[in-house]
Amino acid sequence: MEQYAIKGGNPLVGEVEIGGAKNAALAILAAAIMTDETVRVENVPDVRDTNVLLQAMESIGVIVDRIDRHTVRMNAANIHSLVVEDDFIKKIRASYYFLGALLGKYRKAEVVLPGGCDIGCRAIDQHIKGFKALGAEVNIAHGLISAEAERLSGSHIYFDVVTVGGTINVMMAAALAEGQTIIENAAKEPHVVDVANFLNSMGANIKGAGTDVIRVKGVPKLHKTEYAIIPDQIEAGTFMFAAAATKGDVTVKNVIPKHLESISAKLLEMGCEVEESDDAVRVVAAKRLTHTQVKTLPYPGFPTDMQPQIAVTLGLSEGTSIVRESIFENRFKYVDELTRMGANIQVEGNTAIIDGVKKYTGASITAPDLRAGAALVMAGLAAEGITIIDEIRYIERGYEDFPQKLQSLGAQIEKVSTEKELQKFRLKVG
Ligand code: EPZ
C-alpha cells in the first residue's frame, strides 16, 4: 500500500509554484465536449480526478490528445455514447458535469450517480431542479441519472442553497438552450467565473458570473477555443497554512491573491505576516500563532475546502479556537487521527472546539478524504518524529506532486510503497 512517510520538525522555507485549479479543470474539461470543434486547454493539473475525467471522455468517443503534462487538446465531434458509466467515473463527484454538458449539446445524457469524497450528504436536487426548469425530464434508476429534453428553454431558476456544482451544471446546459436563463442565488467561487469565461470563449453568452445572479442567453452552438485554467486557490491555501503550521516562510507563486483574501485574513488574525504581490503571496510565521474563530461559507467566505488545514494549524496555536463547518456535515473525520498526534479537539455537531497544544507527535494515521488528508500531511510536517499516512490516494485526487513540492521547501516526506522503503526512510531521517 502506498503511504507518505514524514519526519516532522522542519519549517517549510522557499518558493512553490501553484498549478491549475482542479475544480475548475473538471468542469472545463467536461464543457469542452459541448462543441464539435477542437478545444485546447492549458494549465490542467495532472491529478487523479482530472485523469479519470479525461478517461471517461475517451470512453464515450472524445479524442483526447495530451500535448504535454498540463495541456490537453480535445475533439468531441464523434461522441458515440451519451451514457457515461466508466468504472472509475463513479468515484468522482464531477461526473455530474457530463449531465449539463451532454444535455445542452445533445438534449440527452445518462451518467452514473456521482461519488466523491465522503464529507457529508452530497445532494444533487438543485441540479435536477435546474435541468427540469429548462424543460428536461430527469430520472434516477439503476444507479444512473438521466436527463432528456425535446427542447431546452431558458428559465428563471432560484437555487435553495448556494451550490458550485449546480450553478456550473445549469449554466452549461443553459448556454445551449433557447432563450434567456436567469440563475439566482448562484455560487460565486472563482472556478464558477472561470467556467463562464471558458464557455464565453467558445461563443456562449453568460453575464454576471461571480455575482449572485447569472444571466445566460442561449446560443445555437459553441466553437473552438484555447483557454488556460486559473491557479488553484485551495492548493495555494494549503501551502500557505503549511507555512504557518511549521513556523516557516513560504512564497506561493502563480496565484491570484484576490482569490486568497479570506485565507490571508485568517493567517493575519492568527499572527502571521502575509505579503501580497501581483501573482504571489508570502506567508511568514515567525512566532507561535494565536487562536481565532472561523466559519466556512460560500465564496467570498472562508472555503470549506480549507477547513481541515486551518484546524490543524489552530491545533498548534495558543488558546481556544472555534471552527464551524456550515457547508458539509461530515467534514471533521480527521479529528480522531489528529487526536492520535496529541491534538486537543472536541467536536460538537458542526463545531470543533480546539484547545491549542504546544506540539504534535508523529503517529500512523489514515487520510479520510482529500483536504483532510492534505491537512494531516501538514500536521505530520509540524510534528515531532515520524508520521505515516495511509490512503494517500485521496490526496492524489487533488494535489499534483505534493511530496516533491514539499521537499523543495525543505520537508522530509517520501511516498513509500513497501515495508523496505519505509525502513529505508526511517534509517535516512535518523
Ligand atoms: C464542489 O462540490 C467541490 N467539488 C468541492 O470540492 C467543494 O467542497 C464544494 O464545491 C464547496 O465549495 C468539485 O468542484 C468537484 P456544492 P459540490 O454543490 O459542487 C448542498 C474538494 O475537496 N447541495 O457547492 O458538490 C451540498 O450538500 C471538493 O476539492 C444541495 O443541497 O458542492 C452542500 O451542503 C470536496 N443540493 C452544499 O450544497 C444540491 O443539489 C454545497 O455543495 C447541491 C448541493
State the angle between helix axes of 370-382 and 307-314 in degrees (0 to 180), rounded to the nearest 10: 20
How much is the pLDDT for 142? 86
How much is the pLDDT for 357? 98
393 lines ligand 1 (CB under 6 A): no
* Tens-place pLDDT, residues 192-211: 999 999 999 999 999 999 99
- Please give the Cα distance from 179 to 57 (Å, whole number): 28
Q: In percent, how much of the chain has pLDDT > 70?
A: 98
Question: Strand 249-253 relative to strand 13-17: parallel, antiparallel, unpaired?
Answer: parallel
How much is the pLDDT for 118? 63
| φ and ψ of 86, to 5 deg | -50, 145
Query: Hey, what's the torsion of the CAs at 80, 203, 188, 327, to 10 degrees?
Result: 0
- Distance, C-alpha 6 to centroid of its chain: 24
188 lines ligand 1 (CB under 6 A): no
Listed by start position, the domains of the chain span 3-19+231-429, 22-228
**The domain 3-19+231-429: what is its CATH number?**
3.65.10.10
* Residue whose C-alpha cell reads 505576516 in the numeric block: 273
How much is the pLDDT for 352? 98
Closest residue by CA, ligand 1 atom 19: 165
How much is the pLDDT for 161? 96
pLDDT band at 116 (very low <50, low <70, confident <90, very high): low
Out of 33, 101, 112, 117, the active site residue is 117
117 is catalytic: yes
Is-above-0.85 flag for pTM? yes
Distance (angstroms) between ligand 1 centre and the Cα of 383 equals 31
Pocket test for ligand 1, best of 161, 296, 333 (most atoms within 8 A of CB): 161
CA distances 69 to 23, 43, 51, 172, Å, are 18, 9, 11, 26
> Which class would CATH give 22-228?
alpha beta
Distance (angstroms) between ligand 1 centre and the Cα of 393 equals 20
pLDDT of 41 > 60? The answer is yes
- Assign residue 120 a region (left: φ > 0; alpha: ψ between -120 and 50; beta: otherwise): left
Amino acid, res. 42: E
